[in-house]
Amino acid sequence: MSGSLVSVTEGASLNKDVGTFAFRWMVYLKPLRFQEGAKLTAASPIRYIEPVYRPPSEASSLIVPITDGCSWNGCTFCEMYSQPQKRFRAREPAEVLEGIRHAGERLGTEVRRVFLADGDALVLPTRRLLAYLDAIRTQLPSVHRVSSYCLPRNLRKKTIGELTELRDAGLTLAYMGAESGDDAVLERINKGETFASTCEALDKLGQAGIRRSVMIINGLGGMSLSLGHADNSARLINATAPEYLSTLVLMLADGGVRYRQAWPDWQPLSQAGLLREMERFLAGLDLKRTIFRSDHASNWLVLKGTLGADKARLLAQVRAAIERPDTAPLRAASTRGL
């Protein structure tokens, strides 16, 4: 998982929870379902393979798939790309470029933002990414922001110079699901990353001038690793000072079968435990100008502010919820979800 997510699926209604332009393509094209192998035609310029995910802040973006699935797809908590049709592959450049051209013909100057899907589109070679960004700039001239999910491993072979080229070509925001800054937690969930590798990737993006939106998962370490998860996640964020930070609460879509197979003695945190972990995480942060959001549908308590200006207020909200949960503005369990 590379960040807070919303799934765009068949039958979704046109509202704030659905990517506007992705949905508009569905309206224009009237597809029954986006299936693997669906052909590009004049009537269906962009091929989507369900389920399609994007960050909540990309609700008004045109979703342009340049890969399918996730190149790692090994995290035990994540089922986003587990379906057979979401097996990882890079899309053929001809298909992607043709889709962008058709999007320009259909929507012209209406598109302001583009999100490059799927799970870690930055895994592609820099030269190919530059070709897609150039096509977006040419065919969709009103676009002022292009963004993508990104895994730290995607950047290991990319230089800061290459990333600067991508920024200059229009890629201005990368969403990274760090999940945790604690190496013990990262090993348990088979993230394939460490504190050091995540820190290095975020620093590369920052030096290249690409804004970073980082996600941490509340409750990921369970009861046994909660303290280390909170402390080292705060340490990671302090070390990299991303422009945006969000948290969501661990929710296991399959009931936790795969997660518990890999971590048999894992015990979930209670609502109170999650709030205490959040308090510890926030208390450990020392930031200047990071926009913080903990408003994903999985969160019990909605928190919004800028760190550090709003740190005291945010901590007071969490502490009030810990001390007086009956009067706190907590989400009802029935309204929470991924």
DSSP characters for 279-298?
HHHHHT---SEEEEEE-STT
Number of alpha carbons in the 13 Å side-chain half-sphere of residue 315 = 14
Query: In this predicted structure, what is the pLDDT of residue 127?
Result: 98
Sequence letter at residue 170: G
Query: In this predicted structure, what is the pLDDT of residue 338?
Result: 62
Q: Does residue 226 sit within a domain? A: yes
255 and 140 in one domain? no
Query: In this predicted structure, what is the pLDDT of residue 94?
Result: 97
Into how many domains does the chain fold?
A: 2
Low-confidence ranges of the chain (pLDDT < 70): 1-44, 338
Q: Does residue 332 sit within a domain? A: yes
In 55-210, DSSP assigns E strands to: 62-65, 67-68, 89-90, 113-117, 145-149, 171-179
Q: Which of 102, 129, 149 finishes a domain?
A: 149
What's the CA gap between 200 and 53, in Å, rounded? 26
What's the CA gap between 99 and 120, in Å, rounded? 19
* Burial (Cβ within 10 Å: 0-12, 13-18, ≥19) of residue 243: middle
Query: In this predicted structure, what is the pLDDT of residue 258?
Result: 86
Q: How many CB atoms lie within 10 A of CB 270?
A: 11
Q: Does residue 288 sit within a domain? A: yes
Q: Which of 130, 149, 168 finishes a domain?
A: 149
100 and 41 in one domain? yes
Q: Does residue 154 sit within a domain? A: no
204 and 89 in one domain? no
Q: What is the DSSP letter of 59?
A: T
220 and 82 in one domain? no
144 and 185 in one domain? no
Q: Mention every residue, 6+ apart, whose C-beta is less than 8 A from residue 106.
A: 28, 45
Tokens of 221: 């370490």
**What residue numbers bound the domain in which 80 lies?**
1-149
Which residues lie across from 34 on neighbouring strands? Answer: none
Q: Does residue 162 sit within a domain? A: no
The CATH number covering residue 272 comes to 3.30.750.200
336 and 187 in one domain? yes
What's the CA gap between 270 and 225, in Å, rounded? 14
120 and 6 in one domain? yes
According to DSSP, the β-strands at 244-249 and 145-149 are: unpaired
From the list 134, 168, 129, 136, the residue with the least C-alpha distance to 150 is 129
196 and 124 in one domain? no
Which residues lie across from 70 on neighbouring strands? Answer: none
205 and 113 in one domain? no
96 and 133 in one domain? yes
What's the CA gap between 151 and 215, in Å, rounded? 12
Q: Does residue 170 sit within a domain? A: no
Collapsing DSSP to helix, strand or coil, 316 comes out as helix
208 and 68 in one domain? no
Query: In this predicted structure, what is the pLDDT of residue 44?
Result: 53
Collect contacts of 253-258 with beta carbons under 8 A, ≥24 apart: 253/79, 253/338, 254/79, 258/76, 258/79
Collapsing DSSP to helix, strand or coil, 247 comes out as strand
Q: Does residue 66 sit within a domain? A: yes
Buried b vs exposed e over 155-168: b needs ≥16 C-beta within 10 Å? beebeeebbebbbe
Q: Does residue 282 sit within a domain? A: yes
What's the CA gap between 254 and 171, in Å, rounded? 34
Whether 301 contacts 328, CB under 8 Å: yes
Q: Which of 133, 149, 165 finishes a domain?
A: 149
Which residues lie across from 41 on neighbouring strands? Answer: 44
First-to-last C-alpha distance (Å) of the chain? 12
* Burial (Cβ within 10 Å: 0-12, 13-18, ≥19) of residue 193: buried
338 and 192 in one domain? yes
